[in-house]
Amino acid sequence: MTGPEPTAADLERAILGESPGLRGTDVAAAAGVSLDDARRLWRALGFPDAANQHAFTGADRDALTLVGQAVRETGVDFETMLRLTRAVGLTVARLADWEVATLSSAVEEFTERDGASTDLMRASVDLVEELGPRFDRLLVYAWRRHLAAAVARIEAFAADEDESATEATVGFADLVAFTALSNELGENELGELVEIFESRCADVIADHNGRVVKTLGDSVLFLESDPVQAIDIALDIIAVVGRDERLPDVRIGIATGPVVLRMGDVYGPPVNLAARFVNVARRNRVIIDDRTAELLPPADFESRRLPARPLRGFGDVEPVTVRRTRPRH
């Protein structure tokens, strides 16, 4: 990019493809959608109401037009479309924050490499213009791949995720003494530690055809239809994290039972029980519940019941430790 030094408005234009110049009323009218519905969809995406401001672009008008057409022509009702829009908003908001945090370091490297001739804003605009179109294609590709995987999981879990519960195995992997450690590390070191832990866990879970439901910095919640695979995920996470000197020890709780999948999250007693288990598990150990232990083949696993202990919301519970006694095939 040549000419005058770019501004924040130039960066916004590079990202959006054009400068905002339309009001919400203009966008709603052009799309054939009521202003109230347009506002609800905008809020569902995660943005504050800006109907009376020049905050919208032609792309916003086109997107709203597509939503209106989908409601009118496909039979999908508006409330369902609103839930889908909220799911998109929540997901891409986190993706955007993650991208900015990751790319900010790359931008700084570019400015240091090119010297004083390249300032931070110009480097940001150049990077967006070069990387944006490529990432657009990658994003659509990844979405389609994950959509295909999600459809395949419907049969595995054998339930309508909006209407009924199905039995599944839930696991929580939690870093030991993370709060104390976070007080000792700088921001960059802490961010790197969290990213390493999450990426290590995600790789292991994907290898076993499991699903990462969410990450919470010092913990990862995952879901499996097969309890054997869930145990193997837990054991592999312990092995992978234990080999990385940059990471503290980890402890994992696993429980099996009826869960409900909704809006990309999972709910039910097994989720809460698995979360409670990590508070009583020893370092680099897996704690499971009775139901999970019942489903494990005795020829491959050895389990041992521990003394009862009070768990909030469950009363006195006897956790079970588990280890593999025969190598995987």
Reported CATH class of domain 163-324: alpha beta
Q: How confident is the model at residue 109 (pLDDT cuts 50, 70, 90)?
A: low
Predicted confidence (pLDDT) at residue 276 exceeds the cutoff of 80: yes
Q: Residue 267: beta bridge partners?
A: 260
Q: How confident is the model at residue 67 (pLDDT cuts 50, 70, 90)?
A: confident
Domain ranges of the chain: 8-155, 163-324
Q: How confident is the model at residue 116 (pLDDT cuts 50, 70, 90)?
A: very low
Q: How far apart are CA 287 and CA 305, in angstroms?
A: 10
Q: How confident is the model at residue 242 (pLDDT cuts 50, 70, 90)?
A: confident
Q: How confident is the model at residue 234 (pLDDT cuts 50, 70, 90)?
A: very high
pLDDT tens digits for range 149-202:
777 766 666 544 444 578 899 999 999 888 777 778 877 788 788 888 888 898
Joined together, the tokens standing for residue 225 give 């239809």
User: Does 238 or 49 have the greater pLDDT score?
Assistant: 238
Q: How far apart are CA 306 and CA 304, in angstroms?
A: 6
pLDDT tens digits for range 284-294:
999 999 999 99
Task: Evaluate whether 117 touches 126 at the Cβ level (below 8 Å).
Answer: no
